[in-house]
Amino acid sequence: MVSDYVYWDPGVNIGVEEIDLEHRTFVALINRLESVKTDCALAPRVLQELIKYIAFHFQSEENIFFESGYPELEAHRLLHLALLEKLNVALMELRSGQIDYDELLAFFRSWYLHHTVKEDRRFAGFLAHAADDDAAQEQRLADGAGLPAAAANLPSLTRVPTAWLENMLSASIRLHADEVLSLAGALRTTHSAVADWVGALAADFDYPEIAKTIRSALDERAARRS
Helix axes 101-114, 73-96, angle to 10 degrees: 170
**Can you tell me the mean pLDDT for 130-144?**
55
Q: Which residue has the higher pLDDT, 138 or 98?
A: 98
What's this model's pTM, rounded to 2 decimal places?
0.54
Give the model's pLDDT for residue 36. 93
Strands (E), the chain: none
Residues 6+ apart with CB under 8 A from 60: 18, 19, 22
**Can you tell me the mean pLDDT for 13-24?**
84
Other beta carbons within 10 angstroms of residue 40's beta carbon come to: 9
Which domains are assigned to the chain? 10-132 (1.20.120.50), 148-225 (no CATH)
Q: How far is CA 152 from the centre of its chain?
A: 30
Distances (CA, A) of 138 to 22, 50, 79, 211: 32, 43, 36, 19
Distances (CA, A) of 212 to 22, 134, 150: 40, 19, 12
Per-residue pLDDT tens over the stretch 47-69: 989 989 999 999 998 998 888 88
Residues 6+ apart with CB under 8 A from 204: 150
* Residue 152: band (very low, low, confident or very high) from pLDDT cuts 50, 70, 90: very low
